[in-house]
Amino acid sequence: MLGVEDAVGGLPRTAAVRCSGVTVDFGSVLAVDDVNLTLPVGGIHALVGQNGAGKTTLARAIAGLQQHTSGTVQVNGVEVPPGANLVARRSGVDMVHQHPSLIPELTVAEALELGSPSPRRGPFLRGAIERRWSEFLESRGVDVDVRRRVKELSVELVQSVEIARANPGRGGLLLLDEPTAVLAPSRVEALFEQLRAMVATEVTILIVLHKLSEVRNIADTVTVLREGRLVLSPTPAAATTDAEVGAHIVGEDLADPSPRSRLRVVGSDDEVAIAASGIDAQAVAGESPLNNLSLDVARGEIVGVAGVEGNGQRTLVETLVGLRLPMSGAIRFLGVDCTTKSVEGRRAIGVRSVPFDRNAEGTAAELPLWQNVLGWEAQRFRRWDRLPFLSAAAMRRRATERLQRFHVAYADIDQPVASLSGGNTQRLILARELPDARALVVAQPTRGLDISGITGVWQALAELAASGVPILVVSSDLDELLEHSDRVDVIRGGTIVASHPRPFYRSAIGYDMVGAVGP
């Protein structure tokens, strides 16, 4: 099963990383697909690609944290046994994950002691571990009071402590998974300084990045993954242009892959049906805040919002839906000012939404189908107009009608939503949100769905748009946006940086997504 032995034996130690035919199969998804990758010793190597391109999985496989299905991985000439090292740190390789792993409740010294490969047995003196870790961090150029609790430190300080801890030392390999994602742009440079200092001590760094400006700033070579496959082997960063890399990231430059062949139903007065202007909003954790964001959607128009994850997509959707209020700016739906309206107030005028996560936000797993497909609208089904009693028969009738209309496959209207497949769950959400929608905000409509599920979702959205409803779709899947939108807005750093009409040019959009300048 593991094969490819001939590539292993007796090679000189010339490569920090050598992957041959590495595949990681998650059953339903091929996360990494036959990757052959060689990185030289020393230097900083960037790994880029769209969300879901397999960057993190590949990095984890190299670190020995992810079992690869086939192929071989060598680090500094030593083969990494597949999945042998689920937890413990190996000498010479370490990885810093996207999420901090230091325990917030402990002091820095305690947290480092706990995570060290050889924590002390028996009681320790506080001073002893504080001295130990204080010296350790000092030797690695991080200035922090180890007596402070981790939770009191800023994000960037926690990160630099984690990087210092993970530093494998001279000749080792360090993997970093999107370290800049959690940082304010002004703090990125400090991180890069830390990394450059490590490279000076002959550490090899493989860093997963999103922004091309950062790649250009820090990396010696750049490697691109798309849909699990290696599409650009390590290339000196200086030898490429942003446009080239951007094109590799998003795929072939096809002009208008499949023109959306239907007429736009535009209101008689060409009224702007969804309008946000100059929105500033506090960020959802881990995202850019919204920064003077403006966009508009006309009646019957489908506008896609493309962008690298974390650039304010969730904040945007939650602000439009009414889950959070903007600090400034105005939001209008169908000509009605909704800036300070609650979710319920917006729904009253016909604003509907499809949330990001169909299980965590879209449905209640244990409740039966009929309750989920009606949701809070169930309150409308009165038995007698003047009395507060709801009619079970009316509720069930309407629920059945909706489930059937949206082709949800089910056995019993009382079965819990948890028993549905992802595609059927998404259809159930559409069945709840679409029928009465006069304006629609959709987030990640097809994430994790199979091909028939995806087709069904877009068909329903297209029909709705054809009836004159404005639709805003936020998705991290650029392909589907290009295929189905009338227009694609690009969000970066919490603002819309460009609006592309048809025909679309992938590379232009890709370039806007990864952009040369921060917000």
What is the C-alpha to C-alpha distance for residues 208 and 299, in angstroms, rounded to an integer? 40
Residue 303 pairs in a beta bridge with: 472, 487
Selection from 271, 258, 261, 276 nearest residue 300 by Cα: 271
Our CB check for another protein shows the closer of 12 and 122 to be 122
What is the C-alpha to C-alpha distance for residues 492 and 490, in angstroms, rounded to an integer? 7
Q: Please list every residue from 62 through 81 that binds another protein, using CB under 8 A.
A: 65-67
Question: Rule CB under 8 A: is residue 41 a binding residue for another protein?
Answer: no
Our CB check for another protein shows the closer of 363 and 485 to be 363
Our CB check for another protein shows the closer of 202 and 366 to be 366
Site stretch for another protein (CB under 8 A), options 11-19, 337-345, 463-471, 477-485 = 337-345
Question: Rule CB under 8 A: is residue 105 a binding residue for another protein?
Answer: yes
**At residue 187, what is the residue type?**
R
> Distances from the Cα of 455 to the Cαs of 16, 168, 190, 322, 458, in angstroms?
43, 47, 45, 29, 5
Our CB check for another protein shows the closer of 14 and 282 to be 282
CB atoms under 10 Å from CB of 216, counted, come to: 18
Q: Minimum CB separation from another protein for residue 213, in Å?
A: 15
Our CB check for another protein shows the closer of 179 and 322 to be 322
Our CB check for another protein shows the closer of 15 and 308 to be 308
Give the list of residues 6+ apart from residue 129 with CB closer than 8 angstroms, or none: 109, 110, 113, 120
Count residues binding another protein (CB under 8 A).
Answer: 80
Tokens of 188: 């990125």
Find the distance separating the first CA and the last CA of the chain, reported in whole Å.
48
Residue 440 pairs in a beta bridge with: 352, 471
Selection from 160, 168, 255, 235 nearest residue 205 by Cα: 168
> Residue 213 in 3-state DSSP?
helix
Question: Rule CB under 8 A: is residue 340 a binding residue for another protein?
Answer: no
* DSSP H or E segment with residue 325: none
Q: Minimum CB separation from another protein for residue 191, in Å?
A: 13
Question: Rule CB under 8 A: is residue 321 a binding residue for another protein?
Answer: yes
Bond from prior residue into 503 cis (ω within 30 degrees of 0): yes
Tokens of 469: 């409803």
Map 332-393 to HEC letters: EECCEECCCCCHHHHHHCCEEEECCCHHHHHCCCCCEHHHHHHHHHHHHCECCCCCCCECHH
Q: Please list every residue from 420 through 449 that binds another protein, using CB under 8 A.
A: none
Question: Rule CB under 8 A: is residue 187 a binding residue for another protein?
Answer: yes
Q: Minimum CB separation from another protein for residue 425, in Å?
A: 12
Q: Please list every residue from 227 through 286 that binds another protein, using CB under 8 A.
A: 282-283, 285
Site stretch for another protein (CB under 8 A), options 179-187, 196-204, 219-227, 245-253 = 179-187
Selection from 420, 339, 3 nearest residue 431 by Cα: 420
Question: Rule CB under 8 A: is residue 86 a binding residue for another protein?
Answer: yes
Exactly one of 18, 55, 97, 314 binds another protein (CB under 8 A); that residue is 97
What is the C-alpha to C-alpha distance for residues 215 and 472, in angstroms, rounded to an integer? 31
What is the C-alpha to C-alpha distance for residues 443 and 441, in angstroms, rounded to an integer? 7
Question: By the 8 A CB rule, do 363 and 372 touch?
Answer: yes
Q: Minimum CB separation from another protein for residue 75, in Å?
A: 18
CB atoms under 10 Å from CB of 120, counted, come to: 12
Question: Rule CB under 8 A: is residue 414 a binding residue for another protein?
Answer: yes
What is the C-alpha to C-alpha distance for residues 222 and 236, in angstroms, rounded to an integer? 6
Question: Rule CB under 8 A: is residue 214 a binding residue for another protein?
Answer: no
Our CB check for another protein shows the closer of 14 and 154 to be 154
Our CB check for another protein shows the closer of 286 and 503 to be 286
Q: Please list every residue from 116 through 135 that binds another protein, using CB under 8 A.
A: 119-126
What is the C-alpha to C-alpha distance for residues 428 and 372, in angstroms, rounded to an integer? 8
Our CB check for another protein shows the closer of 2 and 365 to be 365
Q: Please list every residue from 342 through 361 that binds another protein, using CB under 8 A.
A: 342-347, 353, 355, 360-361
Exactly one of 288, 424, 425, 476 binds another protein (CB under 8 A); that residue is 288
What is the C-alpha to C-alpha distance for residues 321 and 41, in angstroms, rounded to an integer? 50
The pattern of x and - marking residues 373 through 392 that bind another protein according to CB under 8 A reads --xxxxx---x----xxxxx
DSSP string, 23-60: EEE-SS-EEEEEEEEEEESSEEEEEE-STTSSHHHHHH
Question: Rule CB under 8 A: is residue 1 a binding residue for another protein?
Answer: no
Our CB check for another protein shows the closer of 256 and 366 to be 366
The pattern of x and - marking residues 133 through 172 that bind another protein according to CB under 8 A reads ------------------x--xx-----------------
The pattern of x and - marking residues 481 through 510 that bind another protein according to CB under 8 A reads -------------x----------------
Exactly one of 255, 364, 393, 516 binds another protein (CB under 8 A); that residue is 364
Question: Rule CB under 8 A: is residue 184 a binding residue for another protein?
Answer: yes
Site stretch for another protein (CB under 8 A), options 207-215, 233-241, 332-340, 410-418 = 410-418
Q: Minimum CB separation from another protein for residue 260, in Å?
A: 28
Our CB check for another protein shows the closer of 326 and 355 to be 355
